[in-house]
């Protein structure tokens, strides 16, 4: 009954006030309409519903200073259209690094200027319609009646047209490292309990139907739909709350951080949308509110990528295109990095980040490190790091990450310790000058590590000194980390203030010509276009989980559809010794074959790629390791040849500034056969082809390290018949002759 | 019935486990006892009860990481005495600046090591007993069973022995600028409603019987009792909640900043103390908790100053003595400062801090200041500042404060603007280089101003650059400000994190040889002993309120008993033109006589004293202004000659490194006659005496600017007969011949 009523109302209002914009090729069509003063939009692809009529708006919080210029009337309804503008944009730009040498940014735009008559306030809703989707955002021009406001929540709706299959993570204010769930939308609520791994150090779920973006879906009529956001700057990260048949009201975190501010403890007064509608849910601050805004300002773009071909989801540049152009003038110091590091042996548990076990807890200013008893397990020592430098120099690796080099690891995350690290004091067995000098003499750089332990105030206080130290010793990249609860207490990893912090770090790093690879930071939203020194993020379940119990074999054929939409991931592949018990007490194993690990260097695009295993393990598989030595990390072109979420991905990439290609194929737990047609090669040219393939009886569980290496000469049009083992894949290098 | 029971139990336990320590002269006696496993203490002065048996302890919060080493068992009871130690300390030290050239620190100490048997945890309660009171603190040694803990609240009790008269401010997490109330303890609840000025920008009161420290009281049997704290470092500021006949349970702010932490929403499970007992109440963080601690650590000292002579309350050095010795090695750059400034005319409303009225709000990075229209009211302009420099040079003033010199004042406090000031960019009409050069050429310095608008993250991000700018141009002191709500949202002015911030600023300033005068920061607790570059604080209702409606005439004869216990106040006296309407549209008047303003330079001790009025107003009263020219701001000795809280104070001080004395007398609204016996002068020496006195018919309201100036020669033992007008006082200079 309700659905029918809504439909009629919408039809009427569309007739009265609707405006439609189509994408350049006409496949994507967006219609804006005012529905009794409420802004709404709908989206279709080749005539099929992608987003059914959905409302737009923001609920504002009443502030104690309301009488001093704050507005508390919601920006939800009572609007009329003051003006609309349409325009077309077509530009091709060159990323500093990327999957292709150039990127075309081509869209049709509709900007609707809305007037809320009762308050005399204007907002603009801007839509950009691409051939592979759309972005929309709210803009708040500076005006007498709207200068400052507090967001209680954003109510952007995405009404789905069916009970799609979705690949989702539990919506969470503090972690993105859960295993992806695959269910129908209507099954999310039922699955939620088992989807949350409560053992993770920072779980903060907010609803039984709350999920994260980027959210990948597939409809029964064959559409691939992805919802995410672009250019999240000084704004809280968006989650999605699904309204289903059981939903009574939207989740509303009750703030209590300030006893003189009165958050509205009542549920939102606005009617619920129809079931199968997602509603935006922003990450709160310590008081439960979602954002403190000053005009002129805007929200991030809310993006929907859509196609009937799954490969288009992977080649889409929609999110990069919705970000601002590069703001760094001289980018000559930014470069892709292939690296190894003193890391995996700590993750596996064989050695330690900390230096001593003498004390139950430490305070940096009270300790004379020279008097502490070494625990004999500290990995970041001179001897070992020199070995890694030698290894990097011998194997075409640019840098060596060293974790645990600096004092403070004896006790760190989740202790509410503010002054946890100083980022400049090495342990006694790490000679920072000698090791950097040694590395440089071999043409290698060390890669800095800053674990902040999520004590952001402490990190900001030491940041300038930390970057200065890097400049002094010749580091040009830092891996930062945000393990554990955010300090100041009450804040969350994806709040407005934390998003501002992450960007502040990137901007300050840029001043020092430092590249940033931030782990446990917010999931990216394409900001690497604007700040290309953001060369990597973790922000999802990385390879480390293979040492903590494992990730499903389909994990890496989901991530490119979801996590990678916003930017590259430092996934740290390359664990060729997949059975950890062969060299440690860790009973876990990697849920891919050895060859599957090689494939990831191509299928998981990143300008920053780690060879994460130990040198002694690579020595055991030196012929397979050759692929890691050879593979490029920056590209002039990329061709997604096959793709299906959670099933398989095959991609060919052309190495930057060369005529060489690398192809990677990765599949899920089922294995598959591939007829790889080399149509992407240059006509008339011959290539020396090396194929790293799973052996016939390979299997990620029982026989992961069975592989074959085949050399042949190939040309355009040739077909390679390949078999991917369960949890396996293949990797191919094609060197132009 | 209850009282009797408590008495018996106490008697028994005292018999069993009590230990008493007396002060060096025996007047103050402290007894510690375990009462059924609960630590208690009591205090007496010359045999009279000061603090009746009172419990000690801390209630801890359960943390979500309890299983990772956090303890949640309260530190309230179940203790046995593991060890006790007594000792004596006697040392004389020299402050970098102060009321006397040397300070004696003489106490007897009792340290009780307590073992909580069930948890195997040790804490130490340390008492220091002085001739004028005592301090006690909790110490938490590092130990396997107690490494990290979260404080739900501290339950330090102060059971008063009678229904004393108290001079109190409403307990508040964010302001100390209310007018002092004078009531019996039992009348606090009834008075609270009218005691809170809700118009203040940051009111956060927590209980109808909550008051601030330092709390001054007077008992019916003639004891003066003051409760405060010393050395508040990395800990929340203490308030006091009075348990009275109506109290049902102690106030407990419910945190809600994190939805995965579960604060205990139930009232404290511990029994209430008897009526007329104060219980400590700490300032919460954004989640409602009071402190995140790591051993080894300790609380600040909880202090009780007591005497039967009100003058002893003013000459007490107990709080300074309980602080750590100076931590700055080279203090040669720290010096007292007498200054004027571009300030009062903005406070009064005649001119403005901001430069333009062009925009409804501003964003620093979007504005081209050279294109803004000046509003014509901007005071911090080159011409005016030069005039103030000339004035300072001509009148023995060391520095010139200039507020409003830097961009950002168009919109600042209470807008939740993070990036509100950058602290380095002058307005177009303030030539920072020229003005500093000009000042230096005249032997004067400019005094920097940093209004943070309580956006602490923003201030910390810009701090290094801001101090560097000061060093570059030759500033050596900064007045900082914390007007408005704390950013990050949910935090409070007196929380553990903010107290850490204030100290961080002082420490960073010291690295740059910068003296700090922090306004709206936490009330001081004697930290200026340890960090003597903290030359001033506001942290109470300053002279500015005379332009906002006025403060009662007894205000300045209360402050030395309360606010000044913790350290000097930048009260900004010297408003000789007490009637503001004579030169502005402001209808208010200062609630003292003109001479009363002169007296404050002596009665309100501070190494930083402002001549706050306008040069043109001083020109009108040039003969009276001579006292401000002459008066010293640092002292070899101080003699409190007469004192009664809220009634009068008379003090004589010997100027540093000279034989000259200055005497100030200040009274309340009633006026009084003083026979001033010059017993403090050197025997056999003659002094040129200048007496600034209220004229016979002077009155702060109707005839404030009637004064006489008398010159005579005096010697030790002479008696001066003086009359203080209602709201008046006197000021005397005694120059040794």
3-state secondary structure B110-140: EEEEEEECCCCEEEEEEEEEECCEEEEEEEE
What is the rounded average pLDDT for all residues in chain A? 94
pLDDT at A98 over 70: yes
**Structure tokens, A95:** 């990323």
pLDDT at A2 over 60: no
**In Å, what is the CA distance from B336 to each residue of A524, B389, B445?**
52, 18, 13
- In chain B, what residues touch A122 (CB-CB under 8 Å)? none
pLDDT mean over B334-346: 98
pLDDT at B31 over 50: yes
pLDDT at B491 over 80: yes
pLDDT mean over A584-600: 98
pLDDT score recorded for residue A90: 98
Question: Could you give the CA distance from residue A284 to residue A486 in angstroms, rounded to a whole number?
Answer: 13
pLDDT score recorded for residue A644: 98
Catalytically active residues of A, by annotation:
544
pLDDT score recorded for residue A215: 98
pLDDT score recorded for residue A253: 64
Interface touch A460/B464, C-beta < 8 Å:
no
Question: Range with the lowest mean pLDDT among A288-292, A546-550, B599-603?
Answer: A288-292
Q: What is the ipTM of this complex?
A: 0.94
CB of A502 less than 8 A from some CB of B: no
Residues in chain B: 737
pLDDT at A9 over 80: no
Q: What is the tens place of the pLDDT at every residue in B626-643?
A: 999 999 999 999 999 999
pLDDT score recorded for residue A64: 58
Q: Which residues contact B280 (CB under 8 A, 6 or more apart)?
A: B153, B154, B155, B156, B157, B238, B239, B240, B241, B302
pLDDT mean over A419-443: 98
pLDDT score recorded for residue B204: 86
pLDDT score recorded for residue A72: 73
- B contact residues 191-220, partner A, Cβ 8 Å cutoff: 203-204, 206
pLDDT score recorded for residue B599: 98
pLDDT score recorded for residue B3: 37
CB nearest to A460's CB, from B206, B460, B497:
B460
pLDDT at A736 over 60: yes
CB nearest to B490's CB, from A258, A359, A415:
A258
pLDDT at A199 over 80: no
pLDDT score recorded for residue A261: 24
CA distance B551 to chain A (A): 25
pLDDT at A150 over 50: yes
**Structure tokens, B604:** 């309100």
- Asked if residues A311 and A640 have their Cβ atoms less than 8 Å apart, the reply is yes
pLDDT at A24 over 80: yes
pLDDT mean over B567-577: 98
pLDDT score recorded for residue B11: 37
Please return the burial class of B385, using the count of CB atoms within 10 Å of its CB with bins 0-12, 13-18 and 19+.
buried
pLDDT score recorded for residue A251: 84
Q: Considering only alpha carbons, which residue of chain A is nearest residue B457?
A: A457
Question: Range with the lowest mean pLDDT among B134-138, B142-146, B584-588, B724-728?
Answer: B142-146
pLDDT score recorded for residue A231: 98
Question: Could you give the CA distance from residue A211 to residue A529 in angstroms, rounded to a whole number?
Answer: 26
**In Å, what is the CA distance from A160 to each residue of A23, A268, A312, A316, B724?**
20, 21, 20, 21, 82
pLDDT at A3 over 80: no
Block residue for tokens 């606010």:
B563
- In chain B, what residues touch A294 (CB-CB under 8 Å)? 361, 363, 415, 417
Q: Where are the alpha helices (DSSP H) in A442-516?
A: 456-473, 496-511
pLDDT mean over A258-264: 30
Question: Range with the lowest mean pLDDT among A265-274, A719-728, B534-543, B599-608?
Answer: A265-274
Question: Range with the lowest mean pLDDT among A290-304, A446-460, B245-259?
Answer: B245-259
pLDDT score recorded for residue A149: 92
pLDDT score recorded for residue A17: 72
pLDDT at B545 over 70: yes
CB of A493 less than 8 A from some CB of B: no
CA distance B313 to chain A (A): 35
pLDDT mean over A57-79: 75
pLDDT score recorded for residue A254: 55
pLDDT at A526 over 60: yes
What is the rounded average pLDDT for all residues in chain B? 94
pTM: 0.95
pLDDT at B257 over 70: no
What proportions of chain B, in percent to the nearest 5, are helix, strand and coil? Answer: 20, 35, 45
pLDDT at B14 over 50: no
Q: Answer yes or no: B546 catalytic.
A: no
CA distance A72 to chain B (A): 13
pLDDT score recorded for residue B64: 58
- In chain B, what residues touch A286 (CB-CB under 8 Å)? 257-258, 286-287, 488-491
Interface touch A464/B464, C-beta < 8 Å:
yes
B103 in helix, strand or coil? strand
pLDDT score recorded for residue B15: 40
> Could you say which of B177, B451, B538, B544 is catalytic?
B544
CB of B701 less than 8 A from some CB of A: no
pLDDT score recorded for residue A8: 35
CA distance A258 to chain B (A): 5
pLDDT score recorded for residue B16: 47
pLDDT score recorded for residue A198: 76
Among A139, A149, A154, A157, smallest CA distance to A61 is for A149
Pairs of residues, one from chain A and one from chain B, whose beta carbons lie less than 8 Å apart:
163
Please return the burial class of A92, using the count of CB atoms within 10 Å of its CB with bins 0-12, 13-18 and 19+.
exposed
pLDDT at A552 over 90: yes
Among B150, B488, B496, B511, the residue to mutate for chain A (most A Cβ within 10 A): B488
**In Å, what is the CA distance from A59 to each residue of A81, A150, A151, A281, B241?**
19, 9, 6, 11, 38
The band of A65, judged by pLDDT with boundaries at 50, 70 and 90, is: low
A694 in helix, strand or coil? strand
pLDDT mean over A139-148: 93
Which helix H or strand E contains A616, and what residues bound it?
A: helix A615-620
Interface touch A150/B461, C-beta < 8 Å:
no
What one-character DSSP code corresponds to residue A298? Answer: E
**Structure tokens, A649:** 């991905």
- In chain B, what residues touch A360 (CB-CB under 8 Å)? 142-144, 147
pLDDT score recorded for residue B13: 40
pLDDT mean over A176-193: 96
- B contact residues 217-256, partner A, Cβ 8 Å cutoff: 253-256
pLDDT at B455 over 60: yes
pLDDT above 70 covers a percentage of chain A that reads: 94
- A contact residues 315-334, partner B, Cβ 8 Å cutoff: none
Question: Could you give the CA distance from residue B248 to residue B271 in angstroms, rounded to a whole number?
Answer: 10
């Amino acid at each position: 009954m309700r659905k029918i009523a809504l439909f009629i109302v919408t039809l009427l209002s569309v007739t009265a006030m609707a405006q439609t914009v189509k994408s350049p090729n006409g496949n994507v069509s967006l219609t804006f309409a005012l529905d009794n003063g409420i802004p709404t939009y709908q989206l279709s692809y080749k005539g099929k519903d992608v987003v059914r009529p959905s409302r737009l708006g923001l609920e504002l919080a009443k502030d104690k200073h309301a009488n001093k210029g704050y507005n508390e009337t919601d920006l939800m309804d009572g609007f009329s259209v003051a003006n609309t503008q349409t325009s077309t944009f077509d530009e091709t730009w060159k990323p500093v690094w990327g999957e292709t040498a150039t990127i075309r940014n081509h869209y049709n735009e509709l900007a609707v200027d809305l007037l809320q008559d009762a308050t005399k306030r204007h907002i603009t809703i801007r839509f950009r319609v691409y051939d592979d989707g759309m972005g929309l955002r709210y803009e708040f021009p500076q005006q007498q009646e709207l200068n400052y406001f507090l967001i209680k929540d954003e109510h952007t709706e995405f009404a789905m047209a069916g009970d799609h299959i979705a690949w989702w993570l539990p919506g969470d204010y503090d972690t993105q490292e859960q295993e992806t769930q695959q269910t129908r939308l209507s099954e999310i609520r039922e699955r939620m309990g088992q989807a949350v791994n409560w053992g993770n150090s920072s779980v903060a779920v907010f609803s039984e139907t709350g999920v994260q973006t980027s959210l990948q879906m597939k409809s029964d009529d064959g559409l691939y739909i992805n919802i995410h956001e672009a250019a999240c700057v000084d704004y809280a990260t968006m989650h999605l709350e699904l309204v289903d048949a059981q939903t009574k009201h939207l989740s509303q975190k009750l703030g209590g951080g300030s006893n003189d501010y009165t958050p509205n403890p009542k549920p939102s007064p606005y009617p619920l949308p129809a079931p199968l509608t997602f509603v935006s849910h922003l990450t709160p601050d310590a008081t439960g509110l979602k954002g403190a805004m000053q005009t002129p300002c805007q929200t991030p773009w809310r993006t929907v990528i859509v196609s009937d071909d799954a490969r288009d989801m992977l080649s889409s540049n929609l999110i990069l295109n919705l970000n601002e152009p590069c703001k760094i003038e001289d980018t000559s110091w930014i470069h892709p990095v292939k690296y190894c590091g003193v890391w995996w042996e700590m993750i596996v548990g064989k050695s330690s980040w900390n230096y001593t076990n003498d004390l139950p807890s430490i305070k940096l200013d009270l300790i004379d490190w020279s008097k502490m008893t070494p625990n004999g397990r500290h990995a970041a020592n001179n001897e070992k790091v020199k070995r890694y430098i030698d290894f990097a120099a011998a194997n075409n690796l640019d840098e060596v990450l060293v974790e645990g080099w600096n004092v403070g690891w004896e006790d760190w995350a989740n202790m509410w310790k503010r002054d946890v690290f100083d980022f400049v004091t090495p342990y006694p067995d790490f000679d920072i000058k000698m090791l950097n000098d040694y590395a440089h003499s071999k043409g290698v750089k060390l890669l800095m590590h800053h674990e902040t332990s999520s004590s952001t105030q402490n990190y900001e206080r030491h940041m300038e000194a930390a970057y200065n130290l890097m400049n002094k010793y010749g580091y040009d990249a830092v891996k930062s980390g945000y393990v554990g609860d955010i300090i100041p207490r009450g804040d969350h990893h994806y709040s407005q203030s934390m998003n501002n912090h992450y960007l502040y770090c990137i901007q300050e790093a840029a001043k020092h010509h430092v590249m940033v690879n931030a782990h446990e930071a917010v999931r990216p939203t394409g900001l690497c276009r604007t700040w290309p020194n953001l060369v990597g993020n973790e922000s999802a379940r990385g390879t480390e989980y293979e040492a903590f119990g494992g990730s499903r074999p389909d994990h890496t054929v989901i991530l490119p559809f979801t996590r990678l939409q916003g930017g590259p991931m430092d996934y740290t592949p390359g664990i060729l010794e997949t059975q950890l018990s062969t060299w440690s007490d860790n009973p876990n194993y990697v849920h891919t074959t050895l060859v599957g690990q090689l494939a990831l260097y191509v299928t998981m695009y990143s300008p920053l790629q780690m060879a994460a295993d130990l040198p002694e393990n690579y020595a055991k598989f030196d012929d397979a390791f050759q692929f890691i030595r050879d593979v490029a990390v920056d590209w002039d072109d990329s061709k997604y040849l096959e793709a299906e979420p959670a099933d398989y991905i095959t991609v060919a990439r052309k190495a930057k500034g060369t005529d060489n290609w690398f192809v990677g194929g990765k599949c899920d737990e089922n294995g598959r056969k591939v007829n790889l047609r080399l149509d992407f090669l240059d006509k008339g040219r011959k290539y020396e082809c090396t194929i790293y393939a799973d052996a016939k009886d390979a299997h990620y569980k029982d026989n992961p390290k069975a592989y074959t290496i085949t050399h042949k000469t190939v040309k355009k049009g040739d077909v390679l018949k390949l078999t991917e083992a369960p949890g396996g894949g293949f990797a191919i290098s094609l060197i132009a002759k």
